[in-house]
Structure 1
Amino acid sequence: MDALNMAWQRRQPEAGLLHHSDRGSQNTRDVYRRALERLKAVQSMSNKGACWDNAVQESFFSTLKVELDLQLARGTRAQTRSEVCEWIEVFYNRQRRHSSLSYRSPVAFEEQAPYPELSLH
């Protein structure tokens, strides 16, 4: 819920945003579905057992775990959360080049996109 609200506040998308997720329990809870309805977002989930629709998310989390070496427990939960947030906001979105974006960072890609409402900043 915190991540959804933070993303919504930062991006301010129009009604009808397509929000894709897998069928994990956090995405199917009534409170989460009601929040999406309140934000006028359309929830999209793949069928049970269809892994292709969430391949992008799975790839992201795999990259996060490998690049931050999250197999090792270190610090407090708050410290780990801060480290993950910094990795996403500073490195992943602004510096890391993505092959699917013609080897540009998401911020650089969106700066060149013809849709200014999609800007990350």
Structure 2
Amino acid sequence: MLQRPFELAQYVALRYTERLADAGALASIGTVGDAYDNALAESVIGLYKTECVRLDGPFKTVDELELATLSWVHWYNTARLHSALGYVPPTEYEDDHYRQINPRQQPLPGQLIVH
């Protein structure tokens, strides 16, 4: 029987790797000592804590925190000005992107529209 947490973690990691191989899947994780795979997640978590939890908290119940989290995620994905996007909200940036790659011809005034 496994006694120490390290042995348990090692066992779980081996079982996880075996299960991925059985399913024909590749792990989306970096190599040992490679911190790049967590950098984006840690950055977003830091923003969440700063912009939602610390700013709007403390929360009295888990339900209050969940509602605040849902609100923050919606704001972050639709309205927040992102520097990587030229300080344009994500939804506006995405709309512009799809307009550029798939321009629709607008009908002339009085022209019939075919659906």
TM-score, with structure 1 as normaliser: 0.52
- The residue aligned with 2:4 is none
Q: Tell whether 2:48 aligns with 1:64.
A: yes
Q: Distance in 1 between matches of 2:69 and 2:97?
A: 27
Pairwise CA RMSD of aligned residues? 3.3
Bigger relative contact order, structure 1 or 2, given CA contacts below 8 A and separation 6+? 1
Aligned residue pairs, count: 82
| Deviation, structure 1 residue 110 | 1.4
For 1:24-48, what per-residue CA distance to the aligned partner results, in whole angstroms no more than 9, with x for missing partners? xxxx796xx88xx7xxx96511223
Secondary structure of the corresponding residue to residue 32 of structure 2? coil
Question: Greater strand percent: which structure?
Answer: 1
Question: Greater helix percent: which structure?
Answer: 2
- The residue aligned with 1:83 is 68
Q: For residue 96 of structure 1, what is the amino acid of its counterpart? A: R
Q: Distance in 2 between matches of 1:43 and 1:51?
A: 15
- The residue aligned with 2:31 is 47
> After TM superposition, which residue ranges in structure 1, 4 or more long, deviate above 6 angstroms?
none
- Percent identity over the alignment is 28
Computing the radius of gyration from Cα coordinates, the structure with the larger value is 2
TM-score, with structure 2 as normaliser: 0.55
Q: Distance in 1 between matches of 2:38 and 2:85?
A: 18
Structure 2 gaps, min length 5: 1-12, 103-115
Structure 1 gaps, min length 5: 1-27, 117-121
- The residue aligned with 1:112 is 96
For 1:57-114, what per-residue CA distance to the aligned partner results, in whole angstroms no more than 9, with x for missing partners? 111110110011449542211110111111111x211111111122122212211224
Q: Distance in 2 between matches of 1:110 and 1:63?
A: 22
